[in-house]
Amino acid sequence: MFLAVPLTAFRPYAIIPSEENQAMNLKYTYEMDGSFYVGCLDDYPEYPTQGENLKDFEENLLDIYEMIQDGTLDLPQKHGVLEISK
């Protein structure tokens, strides 16, 4: 079971696992587009999704996260760390 908890007035939310599975929090941002919830996981903005209601939207976000983790979806952008010497 997952709970949606509002973080700020700009509608970002976090998916918080229930007590039996406290592995991680996944933050996401959404907006209403007509009657649809539209948004993405904050760490993966290149994969937007939508849902007819908040539950559908969160299920789609979880599907995207699982596909990224199991390699079904490739991340088109790679991230790195630039070290700058002083």
Contact, 51 vs 37, CB < 8 A? yes
User: What are the distances in angstroms from CA 72 to CA 12, 33, 63, 65, 66?
Assistant: 26, 28, 11, 10, 8
The length of the chain in residues reads 86
pTM: 0.63
Residue 74 has pLDDT above 60, yes or no: yes
Give the DSSP H or E segment for 15: strand 12-17
pLDDT at res. 48? 94
Q: Phi/psi at 32 (nearest 5 deg)?
A: -90, 130
Radius of gyration of the chain (CA): 15
Residue 6 has pLDDT above 60, yes or no: no
pLDDT at res. 15? 54
Q: Could you report the per-residue pLDDT of 10-56, keeping only the tens digit for each?
A: 455 555 555 565 677 889 999 999 999 999 999 899 999 999 999 99
pLDDT at res. 12? 52
